[in-house]
Amino acid sequence: MTFKNPIGLAAGYDKDAVAVRGLAALGFGHVEVGTVTPMPQPGNPRPRVFRLPEEEAVINRMGFPGNGSAYMVRFLQGRQRRMGLFRSVLGTSSRNQQPAKPNRPNQVVLGVNIGRNKSTPNEEAVLDYLALLQIFAPHADYLAINISSPNTVGLRQLQGRAALEGLLAQLDIQRRMEEKKLEKRVPLLVKLAPDLSGEELDDAVDVILGTHMDGIIATNTTLARDGLTSRHRDETGGLSGGPLRVRSEAVLSHLVKQVDGKIPIVSVGGIMNSEDARRRIDLGATLIQVYTGLVYQGPGLVKKILAE
């Protein structure tokens, strides 16, 4: 795939894909929408988002609120018809033959981040992910499998070796069926938490490589609260922004070593300025994503990073 630049918008902002065209105008090379769930759900009770300006951080416990997959598909179908903004990456029916034809380099790559509904038990989570893969394979340039949000009870348990292998193996089978039907590549990336131990990260990498996934997104928000002084520090939920920087960089460095160039890694978490962005690329990230940096630096952050 061809990206016009390495900077993307992380999932969580445009949960229903209603603002992709406007977000693309900020200068992103890719935009990741979602997390989308099969059925609509309200998310967790409010208040559920807290600014920690002393640390340039945010704590959220949103819980995948959104209008569901059918709602998002309508927006993506309408946008594709009206604007021609996105172009699927076409390839052969066999993933092991010729590489996919690249998308036009002046276009924004669209990722769709998928997750299970709150009411779906982990034992049945694969059904939600399989359904979402089939729904969005025709509309997305890549799919991101979210098993690392701390705000859906039990979701992170899917990162364990046995559960992860069971999930990703079935998704890979379904992905190959969709590729044959659509005659296009359907890249799958897995989004991991920053709170995994080194051993847990190694297990995840083994499974991700063994099930033929196409990339890793590292990292989601953290449950850690090291060194925070804000009055909101004890709020439950995932912490993002400046305090996540060191932890996310450490996970990136570990993954780069373990992956050894076999698949790309997208780095996200604590990227607040151009120095942070450059350091992630230097550490081995193929792409980066921002979110909380936009809260504190404004929408000009993307073009500022590119310029610097």
Computed over every residue of the chain, the mean pLDDT equals: 91
Residue 85 has pLDDT above 80, yes or no: no
Contacting residues for 120 by C-beta, under 8 A, at least 6 apart:
127, 128
Residue 87 confidence class, pLDDT cut points 50, 70, 90 = very low
What confidence score (pLDDT) does residue 81 get?
59
What confidence score (pLDDT) does residue 153 get?
84
Strand partners of residue 307: none
Does residue 2 sit within a domain?
Answer: no
Residue 238 has pLDDT above 90, yes or no: yes
Q: Given the structure tokens 């997959």, which residue do they identify?
A: 69
Does residue 125 sit within a domain?
Answer: yes
pLDDT tens digits for range 124-166: 999 999 999 999 999 999 999 999 888 888 889 898 888 999 9
Total domains present in the chain: 1
Report the share of the chain in percent with pLDDT over 90. 83
Sheet holding 57-60, edge to edge: 49-52, 57-60, 238-241
More confidently predicted of 109 and 90:
109
Half-sphere exposure of 121 (CA within 13 A, CB side): 2
What confidence score (pLDDT) does residue 159 get?
86
Residue 281 confidence class, pLDDT cut points 50, 70, 90 = very high
Residue 104 has pLDDT above 80, yes or no: no
Does residue 1 sit within a domain?
Answer: no
Does residue 99 sit within a domain?
Answer: yes
Does residue 58 sit within a domain?
Answer: no
Rounded CA gap, 56 and 174, in Å?
Answer: 41
Rounded CA gap, 41 and 104, in Å?
Answer: 35
Contacting residues for 174 by C-beta, under 8 A, at least 6 apart:
130, 133, 134
72-78: average pLDDT: 88
Residue 261 has pLDDT above 70, yes or no: yes
What confidence score (pLDDT) does residue 160 get?
85
Contact status, residue 289 vs residue 10, Cβ threshold 8 Å = yes
pLDDT tens digits for range 197-223: 999 999 999 999 999 999 999 999 999
Identify the domain containing residue 188 by its residue range. 7-40+64-221+241-307
Residue 239 confidence class, pLDDT cut points 50, 70, 90 = very high
Residue 113 confidence class, pLDDT cut points 50, 70, 90 = very high
Does residue 186 sit within a domain?
Answer: yes
Task: Give first-to-last CA distance, the chain, whole Å.
Answer: 24
Length of the chain: 308
| 119 catalytically annotated | no
Residue 302 has pLDDT above 50, yes or no: yes
- Domain harbouring 189, CATH code: 3.20.20.70
What confidence score (pLDDT) does residue 207 get?
96
Rounded CA gap, 73 and 16, in Å?
Answer: 9
Global model pTM greater than 0.85 = yes
More confidently predicted of 132 and 101:
132
* Per annotation, catalytic residue among 69, 148, 149, 267: 149
Does residue 45 sit within a domain?
Answer: no
Does residue 227 sit within a domain?
Answer: no
What confidence score (pLDDT) does residue 106 get?
63
Rounded CA gap, 270 and 240, in Å?
Answer: 6
Residue 12: DSSP 8-state: T
More confidently predicted of 138 and 91:
138
Q: Which residues of 141-168 are buried (b: 16+ CB within 10 A; e: fewer)?
A: bbbbbbbbbbbbeebbebbbeebbbbbb
